[in-house]
Structures are given as structure tokens and as C-alpha cells.
Structure 1
């Protein structure tokens, strides 16, 4: 080790006087390496004309009234002679804390021992003044904190100092002390020698490397490594304990620690990186012969999107029947309760569509789970929650969400409680209740704050949730910012299906409204690529794209995309449906039916029985609150087109009051196509302005971009002319437009010629360009 000045330069006269003046016969300098014990003994020897005895053997008798004994490190000294223990002779001893000196405790009991520990050996400013100019004292003191080792070190980061710390300061420490130091370096409270803390803080930059060196040396010896593993476990560093056991081949102990840490739920207690690390440490043959490890490997595969690998792992361990869902849940006795519970979780990733009968059988497996196995029971409710949300059974979903939260809180797994609270917020958004959703988002943030590891993906989920709540309340900027900066990482993260649905809806809608239809479709394309193997997401993405196209006044293209879906909910089915609309249950079928109804409302608002059909869909108990608000706006539009203004304004007033109560502006903003015309009608607009809460909603809608008059009207176009212009912009022929609007082709040509004249155009292509310039089409 290099130094810039000799260690003897600072004369410790005061410290020597204090030692010699102590009444006890034995003075012990007990401190780690680098605290100047040997230097102080040498100075005493020079002052008194003595020599320092440096050996593990006790100093011989008859050396005068005072003996100086410097015990070498890593030695086992002989018993302290009785002449010193009894207080008959005086001795000053320098030793490290880990060095045990027989009979010293007995001498302490007799009151013959005066101890100087680490804090007693630090230099103070007065001592430094004896060795350097006053102007240097404060700087030197701040650099060294009085630690003798650092007084001669120009750079505390010197590689020689790092080596010294590893071999001299850390090597003598117990396993528990080293682990406590690791915890302290991680910024957590730890039980360390309080006198050492300010000194350790000085060399903090090089301590991690020195600690890694010291730990690596320990792990090379099986016995010391085992002590280290036990210390890790005792202080809550389970991952380090598991990997240390694994490093010395003691796999059973490693597995016991892994299982105690949660088993297949380990990743929720310690994070995905720790989960992957400990699983990688188990040899393949050992892992595949253990039920818990096989399920853990399957969970790891699911998290990485490898459903086929998860199924193969289970089949190899438990037999091919484990992948037959009906067999698992109807013949539960042949599989453990834990495995059956895991298969419930796995159904979510398998995109499995449960029938009502099978769902009841799945729910029946709950009785097989121990009442006090909170994390497994919470996981069961977590999985069932996903199916309830998918089926829009939101009351039942809220019940199981509360049960899951209870069990996760009992199990003390805040990460899983965070997920449940996040889903509760999502359910409130589905209901159109942005105010209540915000309360659950705040609760989610509190749970996430209790998680003991970094989870950037979940932090992004929470950021998206908050941005969507703002969007729902009429503030699109946070969501637009999220989509601009976080989207790539979010799309490639692992999230549950209901959360993907949530992201698809809000993301595409915000992009289409505040950027462009192209941006929204590109967003959906990225999800389409990522979820290529998942049928339910494929349909969901197609339906979202159809809705975006409708909002962009590209109705024909939206109809073509919706018609291309191979489902029973065709336009013809919807046009003929009555009470069937009220009985729809499937989430995607409801969305598809509403897309067709919206299309019909736009093209043929005076169509016979349309009012009745809308009443049926509004009465469907499986609609979300947002969907119901939208359908009611369509109903108001139909009443208005039939010149029933009283009913139109009554329905619309009810919608706006509900939106004000729930803080839900976005569902209204998404129906600009219909609301613009409704609000332009003087009797409707004036009626709505009477209510203060409704006025606030109107103001926020207009602040968010809802126009006060139609674009077509600004150009002198009638509504029929505007609609015909939009349809030719989509590539529709005159014959198609006539059939869609219930007109003759001659009437279509008449409306087109009027539009050409008002726009100053002479041909179809010029009219389409003018329509785009006006913003009538995207």
C-alpha cells in the first residue's frame, strides 16, 4: 500500500498519557486493521525505552513494570498469564476484535481491563494540529474522518486500498457481519459497528468490489459458504442464500430456502430477475424431478410467452392428462391441489374460453385448497377475476378481487395485491367511473411502494392507468406523452389479457383523436404482431381498428373489416335482432354488435325499429358503463333525427349528468360524430345549459376539441351532402351509397353535384382532396 506520509508523523502524546494514567492493569487496544494500534504501541515503546512483543505466545515474565504486546492477526494467542489477570503487573495489548484472548474476560470481571475501541483510536482535530498547518486540518479531517489508515492515503479509491480492505478489514469479519455490510451498501439499515459506519462511508465507492472479493474467497470453502448461506437466510437475503447453497452443491438446502421464499410465487416476492437466477442454479435433472420446481419453470415459461414449453414441462412431469382441462377439473383427485390451482392460472395464458359448466368446476377446486394457504387462494381468486372481467361480470369480479386482496395481504405479497388493485381500477374505468378508478390507482401506488425490488414494467402499468384516468376525465396529454415515450417497452412487457384490452382501447383512441388515424392503426399493428398467436386478441384488435375507422369517417372500410371477421354477429344478424341484443354475453360479440349498430345509426338513423334495438342493447346487463353511455348517445341521435327533440334532450341530459357524476368525459368525446349534430340543435343545447354539472361537462368537451358546429356546415354543405362526400372519399360507388342510404342513384348524383359546386370542384378526385383538406376524412 502506498502512502504519502509516514504513519509516525502524528505524535499521539495525549493518547499515550491517557493509557498510562488509566488505573486498570490491562489496557486493550481492540480495533480492526488500519486503526493505528501498532503505531501507538511503537510510540509507547519509544517513550518508555521498551520493546514491543509481537507473537501469539504470551510475553515472558520479568520484563519490567509495563509490557507491550502486539498480537499478530489471524493468530490464536496463549492464555493471558495470571500475573496480568490478577492486576499484579501492567500490560498494554493491541489486538483485532476477532482475536480471542483467553482469561481476558475473567480479568474484565475483576475490573482490571481498560478497553479502547475503534472510536477511541480516531484522530481528532487537536491531534492533527500537532502535525500540520491549521489551514489543512479541516480538509484532512473531512477526507479521513480521523481514520488513521486514510491519513496517508491521497486517494481512497486506490486499488491497493481496495485490496487492503478485502484482506484486512473484511476477511476477519463473521459471515453475519459481511451480510450486514452488503445490506448496508444496498442502502438498508444494518447492524454494524457504529464506530465503523462513518469510516466505511468514506470508502463506500470501493467497498462493493472489496466485499465481492471477500465473499468469493468464502464461497471457495464449503464450510464457510454454508455459514454465509445461513447468514443470508437469517437476514432475509433469500436469493443469495439459495445461490450460495447451489454453488456448493447442497441442492436440498437451496430448494428448502426457495420453497420457504414462495416456490412458484418466488418472483412476486423477490422479482423476476431473482426468480430466473435461482431457477438457473438448479441442475436440469434435479429440477425436473421436483413438482414445485417444474411448476416454477412452467410459470417462468408463461411469463416469457412460451405457453407450449410450459405445457410440455407439465406433461413430462405429471403426464399428458394434465393438459386436458376437463380431465384436470373433473377428476381432481389424481392431481395435487397446488397443481390444480396452477392450472387455473395457466388457463389465462392459454387463451382458454371457459363454458359456464367448466367454470363452475374450476371454482369447485377452491374447496381443495387449505384455508391458511393465503398466497395460493389469493392466486386462485386472481385468476378467476380475469375470467369475470372478460365476461363483464363486474359485480362478481369485485367480490373475488376483495377476496384476493385479503389473502395477498395476509400472505404479505404487496406485488400481487398491486395487481388486484390495478384490476379494480380497470373495472371502474369499464363502468365509466373515473373518480372511483383514481382511488384504486392511489391504492395501487401504495402497494407498489411496498415492493422490495425494482419492477419497471409494473411502474409503467401504473403510469398508463393514471394516464387513462386523466384521459377519461378529459385530459389527454398524459396519455399522449406515455404513448410517445413508453410504448415500446410496454408492448413487449408481460401483462394480463384484461390489461391488454384496456391498453388497446385507450391507446388507439387517444392516438386517433390527438395524432392521426395512421398513428392509431400503427399502434394496433404492433400489438397485432406481438399477439399473433392469440385468437381473442386478434379479434379485439380488428374490432378496435373498425371503431377507429368509424371515428375517422371511413365507414365503408370499417364495415369491410368488421364483415371479414368469421363470427355469427354479422350486419344482417344485428339488423334483424331484437331481444337477442339484450342477451349477448360474450365481450367481443357485444363489441361487434355495437359496431354494427353504430354503423346503422350513422347511415340510417330513421330505420324502423332502430329505437327498439337500441333499447335492447342498452338494457343488456353485460355492457360496460362506457358502452351504455355511448349507446344512449346514439339513441338521442335517433330521436333527434326523428324530430322527437324532447326525448332526444331528455336522454342526452341523463347521459351528461351521469358523466358529470362519474368524471367520465372520454366516452362522450369518442362520440363526437353524433354529439356535434345533437349539440348544434338549439333546443337541445339550451336545455343542457340549464344544469351546472352538465355545463361543466360541455365546457370540458369543447376544451378537448368538440366543435361547436360541423365542418361540413362551415363549408355550406348539408348533412346529406357531407355524408355522401365522406363515402366517396372512402372509395364508395354511387350505387353503394344509394343502397346504404336508401336513396336512388339519381339523388346521390344530385347531392354530389351540389357538393362539387359548394367546394368549387368539377370532378370526383378534386372533391375528395377538398374533403381531406377540410378534415372531413382522415
Structure 2
């Protein structure tokens, strides 16, 4: 029978029976438990409501599993599912048509009629069917060649309205679907839809991985379902340390087997050979792939590459560059290493030359060093601008490059020696770094013939960095000199300006001018963004976070730190020290928001890295200070003193006297909080600058290293005065602290002063001043959700707040302020080890409120407690006044929120089957 679809070349194709089709007419068997993914099923269901669904992703993304689940679920009256798995045999249109007819016959088509024998007959027979048929065609790309896709295009052009198609393909299927897309009849499910989310990966792996391991595993697998499923049983079996590490790093042999069995055969041979050579690279353009492979692959159409997503992916913000999936890259790199180390060295040498010729000097250095070509590497470092490489590529890159250079190569070059000084300073070896800088300065003074220009600007910058690590205090003249220096540069000198603004930010922060520090930070960040250097941006985002915390801008600080964390994961994932630097202020911010356990976890992980590889005193002070306060809350004074002892050890190891002073102030704070007032007072009296505390607010730091130590000392003194019965003196001193903090923009110290003033004013019999101080504290804290300083203020503060609420009621505050105070009250008044507030209300008032919360009426409360209706109303009136409400509904909601009663249990909604 002739075809009538307009292509005589296909005429005469006749369908004949084939008994070997039977195994391909049903979904393949699987013993794996499926993960419930209703959103995918719904997407597929909506696609079938159109006409064509294309599921397009590489092998191992669960295309067949999704289709099999739909095949089973979508069989319903009036809708008949049919299945066919395609193979290489279906290149022959005779066999492909035969399979489609057999699949449809199995689904109930052509009932009482003979099978169609050609394409026209198949279309006519389907058009006459009363039911809708959903034809699932699995592994469409297995039918290689052009004959079957061309025939299928004819089928699509005359596809009956009641026929639905669900097609899975591991690449471009080679059929025309645009007209379905234009009419809204095509639904596409891609790899990004099929990839496991972090939650789904965690659900499959259960508790087999820690949080950090799960994050790393998700980054390596990128949600590729097959990789997750391959790892799950091995992880559940309790592998040894090496095998576990290989599973988490994506280098396990089971992944390589999957790559070779399922993935590589789907990639064209020429491209497969080219990407194997590119496994030595983080990212590459196609012309570099051609250079390394020795033959042309750059001619490939973008659609050919796009069809391999996410096996090969475009690099964001770098058009034309590609990168390999981590597991694919690991498997190909392992093959290279197994075959020939000489081949790997040759590829690195070729890559170094290619990068150097095109000005990618950082990459040229890295690959030249790996090829053992140290002359090229050293020359590329100099051409890359020496220490500019640090800001552009990061400390780990520079350190790795220098580690691959022989010492004699480093010491023959002033640029490389300065880079070495930078690495030493970042490793905490500050004296050795200082000696290297002084040696370079002596070299500059001697003069003579130099094989290279002397890096004078870089020397200035590195010496400034070492000054920071040595805690050298820059006075006003030095700061003005830096301002003049940066003003002399032009708009194009972004690297130089960024570095100077970085140092100005540190200098202004230390000086106590937080507004100027913030401006310098923003300017430096803009410079580094102009340079497109992630490493420099990360550091300035950390500065932004540090300044933001000190000035009370906690929300913006957390946003900046989270952005820095994301940049590290994207560009500097191997730099554990850099991640620790970000996690230190992030831990402090979490602590201030009351997330003490989470903050403690961040700092426990971060501070050892800091102690081993960082030298910035302010980071030590703030990190260890928060760690000690968290330990006090979680474990008690002994654990807090252990943390303080570690501060002393680091101060001695690094020769940092300011850190010793900060440790002593921290010890005094913990002694006071623990009630050991005499010991705290003796330590404070021995410190210089703590004797004259009743005079006017000074402009200088009264002999203290910086304004922070001065303010901390004054706050410690005021806290001791309050606790030792001298509230009037404390109030005067706290006024000075508030003036100093306000002048420098240090809102965090201003908050601490306000909290102590609440306690002191109430103790001195000044309720109006106590109320005003509480309002000030809440105004500073509430917009930023700062909670922990209220809790750290201690029991005396809690009693003062309770008394203020009883005296004035919550109704005098603005609604948002009242809610925040209620929240503070709900936690502050909670007795240790108890689950409910025990002091704000009397026992009888709590009983009345509990019955009210359960839904009892006044009469029912009266009967339950044996009281009269009038007495119940009297108690309710007292409750309303104490928590500042006027209606019973609000009273119930607020009492539950602040912990006066347990929150009412909600009836769980029964889950409905999908």
C-alpha cells in the first residue's frame, strides 16, 4: 500500500509481524524504590493534555523511570497507554513502524480489525479510534541515522488529535517539533527538571551524610539521579574511609563505569576525544579543545553542545567557555593518568602556551607549573602582575603556583619573592614575611641592574597587609596619606585603588569611624567588581559584614556574608581558610540573632583554620569572643574559660598584645556573668585606663589600644557597678559609653549600654528612664532581629523588664515593639530547665490563662477552679494588663507566642492521595 503523506521515497513500506518486539512493548524492569516526585508527574500530565511531551536529558536522569511511572498511573477510562523502547534496529523504518503498531495493538487499538500495514493506514486507523492513545517512545535517539526521524516527521505532520506522544531522548531527537511548541502543544522536561534537589538527595541518603558532606556531595553530583542512586547502597554499607571519600568526591570506580557504559557512547567520537584532553582544565572554549585534541571541533553548532547539558555546560558570565560535569571530568582525568603521565604534562604545556599567547596569565602560570616549565611559569607570574595574582585568583592559586617553583627560581626574582612574602603572611608566618619585605627594601636601596622592574607598588601594598597582621595602628597622618595616594590614581587603576580602599576600611574601622569604613569598603568592592576578581570581592564582603555587625546593620551584614559564602563555593571552594574567615562573622551574626548552637557550630569549625592560617587581630577578637559567649550559654563558665584560654594562647603564639587585652576583658565579662564579681573587679582594677571612669567622655581611647577595648572596658565596669549596688555611678558611666558609641556609629555598643541602663535605672528607682532605655534598646534591635544581647543581659535585666511590663503594660508600646518585648519576655523569664514562663503571672493567673487558651468560657473557668465569675474576670483583667492586650483572642495568641502557655496543638490535615 502506498503512503499518501507527500514523500514517494517512503512509499511501499509494508509492516510485517515480528515476534521479537514483545520485550520492548513494556517498561523495563527495576527493583529500585522510586522517590515520589509529584511535580514531575503533574508536569507530564499537563503535557499529555497538550499533545507531545519531550523528556530530554543524558543517561541516568530518570527519563525511563518517569515515563514508566506515568505509563502505570495514566491508564484510565478513555485513555490507553502504549509503550515502545527503541533500539538500533529501529533505524529501519519497516521495523520502527512495526513496533509502533504492535505497541498500540497491545494497548487495545485496532480492536476487531487487521493491523495497519503502512503509515497512512496507521494514521487512518488511529483517527477512527474512540479512545485517546498515549504512545510512550523510550530512548528515541537509539534509532540512529536519519531514516526513522524523517519518517517520524511525516507521522507528526498528520498526527491525529486523540494521539498523544511522550518521547524520551538523550540528545537532540532530530525531529521537527517547533509547530507543536508554537501552538502550545509541546511540553519539555529537561535535565534541570529531572535532577534531584538537595532535599530529594537527602531523603534518598537518609542520615548517611553530615550536613557538610551532603553539601559537598550535591556540588559534585549536581543532582544527577544515577550518581546519587549508585552511591546510596555503598554509603549505606558503611565503606572504609578511602572508599567513602571517593564516593563523596566523585572519583569512585562505580561512577567511572557509569560514564564509560552509559554516557560516553552518546557523545560523538571527535568531541569525546577533545573533552578527554580538556579534563585537565577547569573550563575551556572549543578552539582550545581543538588545540589540545589536534583536530578541529570548534565547527560544531551550539545546538550540538547544548544537547549535552549538563555533561558539558556553558560557563556563566563567560560566553563561549564550557566546563565538564565534575564526575565526567574525574573519570576522563583518571583515564589520562592511567594511560600516560607524559601525555598529561604535554597537555598542560600546550594549555600554558595557548593561555599565555592570549593573555590568560593566571591560567598560563598554573599549567606551566604543572608541566614542569618553571621558566614559563615565573615569567607568566611577572606578566600577570605579581601579587595582583593574589587578588585575581586567590591565595590558594598563588600558594600552589609558588609551591611548584624551586626556591632558587623564587629568590632570583623580586616579584616572586614578594609573592612568597604574601603567602607567608597569609599562612600566619608574619615575622618571616616581614623579614622578606625588609630584605626586598634593602635590595631596592642597593639598586644596580635588575633583570625585571622592581615591584615598588606591590611592595607598598604587601607591607600594608603585614602591618595589619602585626596590628600596627595607623594614625590620622597615615590615613590621610593613603587618601591622597588613592586620589592620585585614575579611573582605570582599579586594582591599585581597590587595595588602598581595602586598607582604609581596616584603618577607619580600627580608628572607630565606621561611616568612613563603610564608604571605603563600598569603593573597594566596586573596584574589585570592576576587575571581576572573586577573591577581592569576598574579602570586601567580609569587611562589609564586619562593619555592618558593629554598626548594628545585622540584616545587610548577613546578606553580604552569604554572598561571600556563595562566591567561595563557586570560585574558591578549596580555600578552607577563606571559608573560615567568612564563617567567623557569620557565626557572630547568627549568635546575635539567638541561634547560639548554630553559631557555635560555625565557630568551632572556623576558628582552628583561623588560628592556623590567619593573622588579623580583629577577626580573632570577634571570633573567639563569640565562641566564648556561646560556650557560656551552651555549657557554662568552665567551657567559656577554655575558649578564653585559647585566645591567650593565640596571642602569645602570634605576639599580639591587643589580643591579650581583649582576652582579659572577655574573661572579666564571663566572670561577671557567672556571678564571680570580686574576681572580675580585681582583674579590671589591674588594667590601665580603668581607674578614672566618672569624668567627661574623652576623645581618645584613654590608653586602650582601640575604641573597642575602651568601650568593652567601660561596659564591664558599668556592669560590675550595677551588680555591686552602685546604679547611680553606672548610669553616669553608661551615658559616657552611649555618647562614645553614638559618635563612632557603634550601634552594637550603644545597644549594650541601653540594656545595662534598663537594669541600672530600675535599680536606682528611675522607672521612666528604665522604660526609655528599653525603648531605645528595642528600637536598635528589633528591625535587625537582634535577640541574644537581651538574653545575655542576665537575670537582673529580666527582672527589670518584667517589672516595667507589670508597671506600664505592653499596651503603651507600638504594636511591633510590644511584640518584640513580649518575645524577649517569653524567653527571658523562662526558668532554667522549665518549659514555661514562671514569673510574669501569678499561679492563679496562669491557671486562668491556660483554661482560656483551651477554649473555656468564663463560667467553665470558674467551675474548673472553684471561683466566682467575678473573680475570674478580675484575674483576666490582671492578665490583660500585664501582657498589654484588651481582648481574649489576642491574649491567647500572645501568651502562646511568648511562652506563658503551651501553643495549642493543631489538627494535622490528612494527606490526600495524588
- TM-score tier after normalising by the smaller chain length: 0.5 to 0.7
1:212 equivalenced with 2:337 (yes/no):
yes
Note the C-alpha offset of 1:260.
4.5
Distance between the aligned counterparts of 2:462 and 2:599, measured in 1?
35
Q: Conserved in 2, the CA contact under 8 Å of 1:183 and 1:190?
A: no
Distance between the aligned counterparts of 1:538 and 1:362, measured in 2?
29
Distance between the aligned counterparts of 1:206 and 1:423, measured in 2?
40
The match for 1:552 among 661, 665, 674 is: 674
The match for 1:477 among 577, 597, 601 is: 597
Alignment-derived partner of residue 88 in structure 2: 124
Q: Conserved in 2, the CA contact under 8 Å of 1:635 and 1:651?
A: yes
Note the C-alpha offset of 1:641.
2.6
Alignment-derived partner of residue 647 in structure 1: 769
Note the C-alpha offset of 1:697.
2.2
1:701 equivalenced with 2:824 (yes/no):
yes
The match for 2:531 among 404, 411, 427 is: 411
Distance between the aligned counterparts of 2:338 and 2:718, measured in 1?
70
Distance between the aligned counterparts of 1:225 and 1:190, measured in 2?
12
Distance between the aligned counterparts of 2:832 and 2:368, measured in 1?
73
The match for 1:593 among 714, 719, 731 is: 714
Give the 3 Å change call, closer, same or farther, for CA 580–392 of structure 1 in structure 2. closer
- Within 5 A, what are the aligned runs for 1:388-537? 388-448=508-568, 450-451=570-571, 453-483=573-603, 487-489=607-609, 491-494=611-614, 496-532=616-652, 533-537=655-659
Distance between the aligned counterparts of 1:528 and 1:445, measured in 2?
29
Give the 3 Å change call, closer, same or farther, for CA 178–631 of structure 1 in structure 2. same
Question: Alignment partner of 2:408: what SS?
Answer: helix
Give the 3 Å change call, closer, same or farther, for CA 516–190 of structure 1 in structure 2. farther
Give the 3 Å change call, closer, same or farther, for CA 232–173 of structure 1 in structure 2. farther
Alignment-derived partner of residue 207 in structure 2: none
1:577 equivalenced with 2:695 (yes/no):
yes
Note the C-alpha offset of 1:401.
0.4
1:380 equivalenced with 2:500 (yes/no):
yes
Can you give the 5+ residue segments of structure 2 that lack an aligned partner in the other structure? 1-86, 100-137, 145-168, 171-253, 291-296, 313-323, 446-453, 840-914
Question: Alignment partner of 2:332: what SS?
Answer: helix
Note the C-alpha offset of 1:205.
6.4
Cα shift readout 1:177-205 (whole Å, capped 9, x = no counterpart): 76534338999998575789799999876
Cα shift readout 1:363-386 (whole Å, capped 9, x = no counterpart): 443356564232232112112211
Cα shift readout 1:685-722 (whole Å, capped 9, x = no counterpart): 534553222322223324444448999xx99xxxxxxx
The match for 2:664 among 515, 524, 542 is: 542
Alignment-derived partner of residue 602 in structure 1: 723
Alignment-derived partner of residue 358 in structure 1: 478
Give the 3 Å change call, closer, same or farther, for CA 683–247 of structure 1 in structure 2. closer
Give the 3 Å change call, closer, same or farther, for CA 220–352 of structure 1 in structure 2. closer
Give the 3 Å change call, closer, same or farther, for CA 445–453 of structure 1 in structure 2. closer
Q: Conserved in 2, the CA contact under 8 Å of 1:633 and 1:652?
A: yes
Alignment-derived partner of residue 118 in structure 1: none
Note the C-alpha offset of 1:213.
5.8
Q: Conserved in 1, the CA contact under 8 Å of 2:665 and 2:712?
A: yes
Distance between the aligned counterparts of 1:709 and 1:177, measured in 2?
62
Note the C-alpha offset of 1:478.
1.9
Can you give the 5+ residue segments of structure 1 that lack an aligned partner in the other structure? 1-122, 147-154, 323-333, 716-778
Give the 3 Å change call, closer, same or farther, for CA 189–612 of structure 1 in structure 2. farther
Alignment-derived partner of residue 253 in structure 1: 376
Give the TM-score normalised by structure 1. Answer: 0.61
Farther-moved stretch of structure 1 (339-348 vs 199-208):
199-208
Farther-moved stretch of structure 1 (661-670 vs 540-549):
661-670
Give the 3 Å change call, closer, same or farther, for CA 274–428 of structure 1 in structure 2. closer
The match for 2:734 among 614, 632, 636 is: 614
Alignment-derived partner of residue 183 in structure 1: 281
Question: Alignment partner of 1:492: what SS?
Answer: helix
Distance between the aligned counterparts of 1:539 and 1:615, measured in 2?
24
Distance between the aligned counterparts of 1:218 and 1:583, measured in 2?
64
Bigger radius of gyration among the two: 1
Distance between the aligned counterparts of 1:178 and 1:206, measured in 2?
9
1:679 equivalenced with 2:798 (yes/no):
no
Cα shift readout 1:586-621 (whole Å, capped 9, x = no counterpart): 3212322221222123213245x5533332221112
Note the C-alpha offset of 1:298.
0.4
Note the C-alpha offset of 1:402.
0.9
Distance between the aligned counterparts of 1:541 and 1:603, measured in 2?
23
Note the C-alpha offset of 1:525.
1.9
Give the TM-score normalised by structure 2. Answer: 0.53
Q: Conserved in 1, the CA contact under 8 Å of 2:544 and 2:557?
A: yes
Give the 3 Å change call, closer, same or farther, for CA 411–205 of structure 1 in structure 2. closer
Give the 3 Å change call, closer, same or farther, for CA 564–250 of structure 1 in structure 2. same
Q: Conserved in 1, the CA contact under 8 Å of 2:337 and 2:344?
A: no
Distance between the aligned counterparts of 1:642 and 1:310, measured in 2?
55
Query: What is the CA RMSD across the aligned residues, in angstroms?
Result: 4.7
Q: Conserved in 1, the CA contact under 8 Å of 2:277 and 2:289?
A: no
Farther-moved stretch of structure 1 (538-547 vs 629-638):
629-638
Distance between the aligned counterparts of 1:293 and 1:234, measured in 2?
21
The match for 1:241 among 364, 388, 400 is: 364
Give the 3 Å change call, closer, same or farther, for CA 174–231 of structure 1 in structure 2. farther
Distance between the aligned counterparts of 2:328 and 2:758, measured in 1?
73
Give the 3 Å change call, closer, same or farther, for CA 674–386 of structure 1 in structure 2. farther
Distance between the aligned counterparts of 1:628 and 1:189, measured in 2?
60
> How many pairs are equivalent?
557
Give the 3 Å change call, closer, same or farther, for CA 124–710 of structure 1 in structure 2. closer
Give the 3 Å change call, closer, same or farther, for CA 543–529 of structure 1 in structure 2. same
Question: Alignment partner of 1:573: what SS?
Answer: coil
Farther-moved stretch of structure 1 (293-302 vs 173-182):
173-182
Q: Conserved in 2, the CA contact under 8 Å of 1:649 and 1:687?
A: no
Alignment-derived partner of residue 24 in structure 2: none
Give the 3 Å change call, closer, same or farther, for CA 700–603 of structure 1 in structure 2. same
Cα shift readout 1:108-160 (whole Å, capped 9, x = no counterpart): xxxxxxxxxxxxxxx93458999xxx9xxx99x99x999xxxxxxxx9979xx
Question: Alignment partner of 1:619: what SS?
Answer: helix
The match for 1:347 among 441, 461, 467 is: 467
Note the C-alpha offset of 1:348.
0.4
Note the C-alpha offset of 1:403.
0.8
Distance between the aligned counterparts of 1:188 and 1:489, measured in 2?
39
Distance between the aligned counterparts of 1:626 and 1:514, measured in 2?
22
Distance between the aligned counterparts of 2:271 and 2:770, measured in 1?
81
Q: Conserved in 2, the CA contact under 8 Å of 1:219 and 1:225?
A: yes
Note the C-alpha offset of 1:683.
6.5
Distance between the aligned counterparts of 1:174 and 1:228, measured in 2?
18
Distance between the aligned counterparts of 1:670 and 1:505, measured in 2?
13
Note the C-alpha offset of 1:304.
0.9
Cα shift readout 1:21-76 (whole Å, capped 9, x = no counterpart): xxxxxxxxxxxxxxxxxxxxxxxxxxxxxxxxxxxxxxxxxxxxxxxxxxxxxxxx
Note the C-alpha offset of 1:537.
1.2
Alignment-derived partner of residue 283 in structure 1: 406
Give the 3 Å change call, closer, same or farther, for CA 450–407 of structure 1 in structure 2. farther
